[in-house]
Amino acid sequence: MTTEQFIATKASAAVNALYGADIPESRMQVQVTRKEFEGDFTLVVFPLLKISHASPDATGNAIGEWLTSNCPEIEAFNSVKGFLNLSLSNIYWSRLFASIESDARFGELPSTGRRIMVEFSSPNTNKPLHLGHVRNNLLGASVSNLLKAAGNDVIRTTLVNDRGVHICKSMYAWQQRFDGATPASTGKKGDHLVGDCYVEYARMEKEDPSVLDKVHDMLVKWEENDPEVRRLWSMMNEWVFEGFEQTYKALGISFDKTYYEHETYLLGKELVRKGLETGVFVKDPDGSVWCDLTADGLDRKLLLRSDGTSVYMTQDLGTAERRFAEHELDSHVYVVGDEQNYHFQVLKLVLKKLGFDWADQIYHLSYGMVELPEGKMKSREGTVVDADDLIEKMYEEAKSTSEESGKLEGVSEEEKDRLYHMIGLGALKYFILKVDPRKKMLFNPKESIDFNGNTGPFIQYTHARIKSILRKADALGIRPAVSEDAPLSPKEIRLVKLLASYPQKVQEAADAFSPALIANYCYDLAKEFNQYYHDTPILKEENSSILRMRLALIETLANVLVKATGILGMELPDRM
């Protein structure tokens, strides 16, 4: 039961006792008291005036008097123009803290019975993953964690775009310019080698635009199952898959199911055939197939080229139908950059025209692009921040910053290595996820690794500090314990309030598909602890009950930090 629900229940009892009216708790309006007024939570009195037949202040005062007389959890009140501000007692906050501390599943919301698929990453097999893909992967993984924490059955999936014109461009360049090079012969990761081919093709097309015709010929041969083209395609894709897997592992990314475009594009072609039969689509004289959306305020959308080859929209139609049918989904979230807003607007509309009512359950989590100080990244020009290089850079930044702090004496090299990875990835993940997904962001590795301010390492250091206190207490034979005999100070009550808000924050973040709300909650919790630690003696406290209660409080805080940062995919070290 939340504090708002508790107050609503008590207020309902007060109204019944005072006025003989049965008002359900759900109709009581309770909100956090505004900062300029004294109190913790406020009951809105206006809806009760028809029952009390009295003024707002008289009604508020009557309810306040009843509550303070009959509820030991409510110690004071003040009524201001129809708003009853209530101050909760130490008894309430101590009991609330005890319930949080004893609940191993605190923050895990009850099951909704809903099954949601989240598609993210979905890379092309013509280049390695870069910084833009990193934001996509971290968003997709954290949104999946968030929806699961909110009580949903979540399926993580990715669609590998392993066929099409862009793939043939890398293949053509390899044939013409790379003299049989392989990952083994060059010492390069396979995805990096294929990415070099893609960049080289861009140069080739600038030199001779007619090479694009040869690429299209290659695509037609691929769709006709030409054995030589398929062999080259399979070989180069395997190189890329092996490279992707290494990067995913380094980022801590995994999927429950992987789809491949070469397996799904024919599903879309079948839907196009049915759409032609029912008149939803039209075929132009050149043989191309279109969906006319002009009556809907959009334009005509190509579904099949004149040579019969498919486009992205084609396979997205077929993949969506298969997923909803196979998994009986209640919802499908696509984590894709805002450059594809129009694509998903069209996708939903075309699916609706094909008669799929579940099209309304498709949600496009449209996120802003990641930019560098020098501007946008462009894969075909090779001006990208490679994901593998970025992960390595974050490791080196973490190592350098940690060594400067001089706090790792006596730590083994193996433990240091693990710690540098944990700090580097934590910094990267937090820096990206603390930004509202819908906003563009500027990435600055040096800023992200700072041990002060709103950063991942600051939160990690907070956790390590708490663990250090608990180790010292344990060495002294002192165990954390909750006791109603140990009153909470105002600063401790602030911590309990913040802890108690965690489940609501999970729900709020899940509803908004925004891990940023969880990231900034973690920062608020860490910041509040550090202020408390600075002002409050813990191990020096002479009262045994208060000392043990304080240990229980910070231990609970550490546990909630672990849960919240776990949604972000971060690990928290016990030592730093």
| Region of residue 485 (phi > 0: left; psi between -120 and 50: alpha; otherwise: beta) | alpha
Question: Largest Cα–Cα distance of the chain, in whole Å?
Answer: 91
Q: How confident is the model at residue 311 (pLDDT cuts 50, 70, 90)?
A: confident
Please give the mean pLDDT across all residues of the chain.
Answer: 93
- In this prediction, residue 379 carries a pLDDT of 46
- In this prediction, residue 375 carries a pLDDT of 52
| Region of residue 297 (phi > 0: left; psi between -120 and 50: alpha; otherwise: beta) | left
- Looking up tokens 């006596």, which residue turns up? 410
pLDDT score of 544 more than 70: yes
Out of 211-215, 443-447, 487-491, pick the least confident: 443-447
Chain segment 81-112, per-residue pLDDT in tens: 999 999 999 999 999 999 999 999 999 999 99
- Strand-pair partners of 193: none
Q: How confident is the model at residue 380 (pLDDT cuts 50, 70, 90)?
A: very low
Q: In angstroms, rounded to a whole number, what is the distance separating the alpha carbons of residues 58 and 50? A: 13
Chain segment 119-156, per-residue pLDDT in tens: 999 899 998 998 889 999 999 999 999 999 999 999 99
Out of 151-155, 233-237, 305-309, pick the least confident: 305-309
- In this prediction, residue 530 carries a pLDDT of 96
Chain segment 324-363, per-residue pLDDT in tens: 999 999 999 999 999 999 999 999 999 999 999 999 999 9
- In this prediction, residue 214 carries a pLDDT of 96
User: How many CB atoms within 10 Å of residue 21?
Assistant: 13
- Comparing 264 with 212, the larger pLDDT belongs to 212
Q: In angstroms, rounded to a whole number, what is the distance separating the alpha carbons of residues 420 and 557? A: 24
Chain segment 391-413, per-residue pLDDT in tens: 998 899 889 888 877 777 778 88
What string of DSSP letters covers 485-510? TSPPPHHHHHHHHHHHTHHHHHHHHH
Q: Which is it for the CA torsion 560, 562, 567, 568, positive or negative? A: positive
- Looking up tokens 């909100």, which residue turns up? 31
- In this prediction, residue 370 carries a pLDDT of 84
* Coil, strand or helix at 373: coil
User: How many CB atoms within 10 Å of residue 512?
Assistant: 14
Task: Enumerate residues 6+ apart whose C-beta is below 8 A from 78.
Answer: 37, 38, 39, 64, 84, 85
Residue 271 structure tokens: 């839907």
pLDDT score of 285 more than 60: yes
Out of 19-23, 308-312, 326-330, 457-461, pick the least confident: 308-312
Nearest to 318 by CA among 266, 245, 277, 382: 266
Q: How confident is the model at residue 373 (pLDDT cuts 50, 70, 90)?
A: low
Q: In angstroms, rounded to a whole number, what is the distance separating the alpha carbons of residues 439 and 77? A: 42
Chain segment 198-234, per-residue pLDDT in tens: 999 999 999 999 999 999 999 999 989 999 999 999 9
Give the mean pLDDT of 431-457.
85
Q: 308-314: long-range contacts (C-beta < 8 A, 24 or more apart)? A: 308/220, 308/223, 309/219, 309/220, 309/223, 310/265, 310/268, 310/269, 310/272, 312/161, 312/164, 312/343, 313/268, 313/343, 313/346, 313/347, 313/350, 314/265, 314/268, 314/269, 314/271, 314/272
Nearest to 272 by CA among 293, 295, 288, 294: 288
- In this prediction, residue 407 carries a pLDDT of 73
- In this prediction, residue 228 carries a pLDDT of 97
Percent with pLDDT over 90 in the chain? 83
Task: Name the pTM for this structure.
Answer: 0.90
- In this prediction, residue 244 carries a pLDDT of 95
C-alpha 148: how far from chain center: 11
Q: How confident is the model at residue 376 (pLDDT cuts 50, 70, 90)?
A: low
pLDDT score of 377 more than 50: no
The answer to whether the CB of 379 falls within 8 A of the CB of 350 is no
Nearest to 127 by CA among 372, 339, 378: 378
